[in-house]
Structure 1
Amino acid sequence: MTDLLLRGGVVITMDPARRVLPDGAVAIKDGRIQAVGPRAEVEAAHPDAAQVIEARGRAILPGLIDGHAHAGHGLVKTLGNNDSAAWTEACRVIYTLASPPSFWRAEAKLAAFERLRFGVTTGVSLLGGGDSIGRVDDIAFTDAHAQATEAVGIRSILVLGPTRPPFPRPYVGPDGVERPVSFEQQLDVITAGVETWHDKGRVKVATLMPVYREAKHDPAKVKEIERQGHLVREAGRSRGAAFHQDGHRQGSIEMADRMFGLLGPDAWLSHCTELTEADIETLVRTGASVVHNPSAIAAVRGYCPAPRMMEAGITVMIGSDATAPDRSGDMFRHMFQCIRLHQRHYRDETVLPPGKALEMVTIDAARGLGLGHEIGSLEPGKLADVITVDLSAPHMVPANMPVARVVYFANGHDVVDVVVGGDVLMRNRTCPQLDATEIATAAWRETDAMLDRAKLRHLAVEDPGWGLVRR
């Protein structure tokens, strides 16, 4: 018997033929898609579904994929009133000295719940952020994040990587005691995280190395950086885990390959602004993928040549770089911003049509993360990660040209139903297995305690910049 049937909606399959079925259906059994096709045809073949979602007036499409975001950021939103230097320093203090496991647990549950309600069924989360400040001093923090995400039920790719030198770096551990932590200790925690969580349930793990640039480090330390990179890479690669780097720009991709040998088809790199010809050639040659973050501050400071990379055959996905300092995990928002960013760059409204933008958060993202055989499209045999999007709201009517409607007009609050691995996690905007008030209360409590521990409460005093053209 079929476990679940979604029927009557406009099915945007994202399959190789990119079929759009005006009155379609999707049948699901044992967590995987059984059939996708016209409603009458699928209903006839699967007449006795245990559960049915009536999707008339909605689009049915694959769950969205967020290719780059940061764990921890959900509880540091807006700190510093858009002062990037103050915010980055706050992240350093918070993520190393003022965030017990309960902080990471509350933040992970909040961020995963946000993703779920926005139709993001798979999301990448770096355990920490700012400028490569990883929370990798004790596996208790990895466990707290992974357990909380598992409780929400979406898929997560948890990225673990060491901080930048100098080592040792001071951390306050889960016992509340400050101690110095060496690179070797961080590597042990990263390795334990991969062994404990990679491919267990709906959590995968990837490893990470900070991005280095020749102008910004002592050449005498190159060998040590290379040694660390190889150890981190091997900790993941030997266990089937992928590799990620955050913040490439202007020659650093070519350098990561030439000096450190870090790239390959299992790697994806974020931001990638102001790239050189050698950077693009390196991406083509190594098969590495790119995650473009059009709403991030990096996209203000430099241009990511996403259209050019895609024309060169490089897989490019979209990441939110969320949920802080000033953006959410709403991938509809980031799709539209991506389109306008590149149309403005080229002064050409034909750049990045809506179909390509939707590919960048579904099938292209799945391919870039090495998961194209499992998720990213509605095809028989793939994991049943499916969402429905309301096409009947005023801003979506008339609901002709459904792909354009979903990309140009929808937002995360238009997501009605979310299915992950055949499990209905949200139905009619309700998540019965989760207590929204409890999640929000825990987030408030941990944020409040963190501000006191970090002595950063002054950064949470709002200054909107009334009357100012420039702050």
Structure 2
Amino acid sequence: MIDLLLVNGVVVTMDKERRVLQDGAVAIHDGRILEVGPSKVLQETYQASKVINCAYHCVLPGFIDAHGHGGHSLFKTIATENINDWMPIITQTYKHFVTDEFWYYEGKLSALERLKAGVTTGVSVMGSMPRSDDPIFALNHAKAYNEVGVREIVCTGPCNPPWPHSFSRWVDGKRVMREVTYEEVLAGAEAVIEALHHANKDKTRAFITPFVIVTSVNPSAPTPVDQLFGLTEFDRYQARKIREIAKKYQTRIHSDAFGGMIHLAIQDKEYALLGPDVHLQHCRGISFDEAKILAETGTNVSASPGFGQINARTPVTELLEMGATVAITTDGTSPMTPFDMFQAMRRMQLLQQAALRDYFYLPPGKLLEMVTIDAARCVGWDDELGSLEAGKKADVITVNMAQPHLNPENMHVHRLVYQAVGGDVNHVIVDGQLIMDERNVLTVDEKQILQEANEEANRTIERAGLEIYMQPSKYFWGHARAYLDERRYTPTS
């Protein structure tokens, strides 16, 4: 007797042959896939404790969102009127105005949203810039994800200089601020990795995550070539320390990179934060030479489809043609991005096609690879995740195709990529456990999570004085262009 048998579905395997089985089945036992094949054959072969009839459904690997942020789910759209000040506003909030419990309540909401959109593995960078002065934030976040049942890759490490840095904790309702050294944040990150890497029966992993791979240039946009003056001593020191931690705990490195950083990083060949064990998000505005470096070093790349791609594009298509592994991510959920991988695929396709003025870039099959098997490679988990194959972990989702926007029911991969949304996901299985059944979450009380998240969000908004950043400008209604006409944020606010 096996645990689960999914039958009568269109199974999109994402295996090496990219098989699509029109009347397919998936047999699952002890958290792993036993066999994928025709429904008739598997029904004759296996008796199951639970059989799920997947008629009029697509069955495919759970999505892997290779980059997002812990904390953001309680700040959706806040400060979007102040978009150029958004990063400092939210970073200041993370550093000084969130409680330890905030990370638990936000983690529950974040995991729930990902679950209901078919994301079975999600990367969570702790904050807008990583915050690792104390391990409690990551520990609480991972606890929340584990209770919901979604895999999480917790990413934490040092933010950028100067050091020491001020951070606040809230004790008995009172703010306690202290100066934290660089060595202390590294120790906090180590404690997280030691506690969480391969924890919860390997549903939780932890990567070391400096904010960016080179600290001495613009951390959020490409740096002009005439401003690339070489690595600083601190750049070299950080690369060495990050490499030491990754080696000590046999974990991977995840970070952000923008144009110019890769050119600088490769100058320190011994400790450069590049290579097969490294995964870099964004890579917007990188040069052709830098793209070649990424491909030649086997560095993994992920990118999200935001407005920034218009100003400085990630050369996704060029990287793919050079042989690099590239994943599509949400970078969600703030300031205004959901954890919906279907939307992310379509937006990325549109942005790349528009930039290259070529309709034929990023066909639907490639897009689906970039949120399943390619994303699994990006995070170093493709030996067990990213495709439906015997022996792999049973992370499986179904999509309900019996809906007007997904019919006619043919060319199934096209239907999924071009018309589906996260709300069309009907069943979710993680590690062989059915955790969403016909959109009913089985592991947690969804209403309670929403109530607690709203309460925590309101407390944080009041504590941090964020109400001003929630107000629309006078140009919100009836105008073709928005202006703010007032200063809401100053660096000391």
- Interval of TM-score (by shorter of Structure 1 and Structure 2): over 0.9
Supply the distance in 2 between the matched residues of 1:80 and 1:91 (Cα, whole angstroms): 8
Query: In terms of mean alpha carbon deviation, does 227-236 or 407-416 score higher?
Result: 227-236
Counterpart selection for 1:258 from 267, 276, 291: 267
Alignment of 1:318-467 (within 5 A): 318-463=328-473, 465-467=476-478
Distance 1:204 1:349 in 2: 38
Give the counterpart letter for 2:137 in structure 1: F
Deviations 1:214-237 (Å, cap 9, x if unpaired)?
Answer: 655997981123112221232123
The aligned counterpart of 2:294 is 283
Residues 16-63 of structure 1, C-alpha deviation per residue, up to 9 Å, x if partnerless?
Answer: 0000000000000100000001101111111x1011111000000000
Q: Give the TM-score taking structure 1 as reference length.
A: 0.96
When residues 228 and 249 of structure 1 are mapped into structure 2, their CA distance, relative to the original with a 3 A threshold, is: closer
8 Å Cα contact 2:215/2:235 also seen in 1: no
Partner of 1:148: 144
- Give secondary structure in 1 for the equivalent of 2:394: coil
Secondary structure (helix, strand or coil) at the match of 2:59 reads strand
Preserved CA contact (<8 Å) 1:251 1:278: no
Q: What stretches of structure 1 of length at least 5 have no aligned partner?
A: none
Which of 159, 162, 165 does residue 166 from structure 1 map onto? 162
Task: Give me the TM-score of the superposition, normalised by structure 2.
Answer: 0.91
Code of the residue aligned with 2:368 in structure 1: it is L
Whole-Å separation in 2 of the counterparts to 1:299 and 1:145: 30
Aligned residues: 465
SS at match of 1:3: strand
Give the C-alpha shift of residue 12 in structure 1.
Answer: 0.3
Is residue 122 of structure 1 aligned with residue 131 of structure 2?
Answer: no
In the other structure, the counterpart of 2:135 is 139
Taking a change above 3 Å as real, the CA distance of residues 221 and 275 of structure 1, as seen in their structure-2 partners, is closer
Deviating more after overlay: 79-88 vs 379-388: 79-88
Change (3 A) 1:218 1:362: closer
Kept after mapping to 1: 8 A contact 2:81/2:472: no
For residues 120 and 41 of structure 1, the distance between their equivalents in structure 2, rounded to whole angstroms, comes to 29
Counterparts of 1:10-409 in structure 2, within 5 Å, are 10-46=10-46, 48-129=47-128, 132=129, 134-175=130-171, 176-201=175-200, 202-211=203-212, 212=214, 216=218, 222-246=232-256, 248-259=257-268, 261-294=272-305, 296-409=306-419
- Deviation of residue 97 (structure 1)? 0.3
- Structure 1 outlier segments of 4+, above 4 Å: 213-221
User: Counterpart amino acid of 2:34?
Assistant: Q
Structure 1 vs Structure 2: percent identity of aligned residues?
Answer: 39
> In structure 2, what residue type is equivalent to 1:252?
M
SS at match of 1:320: coil
> Secondary structure, in 3 states, of the residue corresponding to 1:270?
strand
Structure 2 stretches lacking a partner, 5+ long = 219-226, 483-493
Q: Deviation at 1:274?
A: 1.8
Q: Deviations over 1:198-255 (max 9, x none)?
A: 0112110111123236655997981123112221232123212111112x22221222
Cα deviation digits, residues 162-218 of structure 1 (max 9, x gap): 111111111112534111111111011000000000011211011112323665599
Asked if the contact 1:271/1:298 (under 8 Å) is kept, the reply is: no
- Asked if structure 1 preserves the Cα contact closer than 8 Å seen for 2:398 and 2:426, the reply is yes
User: Which residue identity is paired with 1:284?
Assistant: A
Counterpart contact for 1:137–1:173, Cα < 8 Å: no
Report the residue type matching 2:406 in the other structure.
M
Deviation, 1:389, is: 0.2
| 2:185 alignment partner AA | Q
Q: Note the alpha carbon deviations across 1:276-302, whole angstroms, 9 max, x for none.
A: 1221121122111100111x2432331
2: CA distance between counterparts of 1:250 and 1:220?
A: 14
In structure 2, relative to structure 1, the CA distance for the partners of 1:78 and 1:310 (3 Å cut) is: same
CA RMSD of aligned residues (A): 1.6
Task: Provide the residue aligned with 2:486 in structure 1.
Answer: none
Secondary structure of the corresponding residue to residue 296 of structure 2: helix
Q: 1:57 to 1:199 in 2, by over 3 A?
A: same
> Which letter does structure 2 place at the counterpart of 1:194?
I
* Secondary structure of the corresponding residue to residue 232 of structure 2: helix
Q: Which residue type is aligned with residue 446 of structure 1?
A: E
Query: CA 1:170 to 1:297, structure 2 compared with 1: closer, same or farther past 3 Å?
Result: farther
Residue 272 of structure 1 aligns to which amino acid in structure 2?
C
Q: Report the alpha carbon displacement of residue 261 of structure 1 after superposing the two structures with TM.
A: 1.2
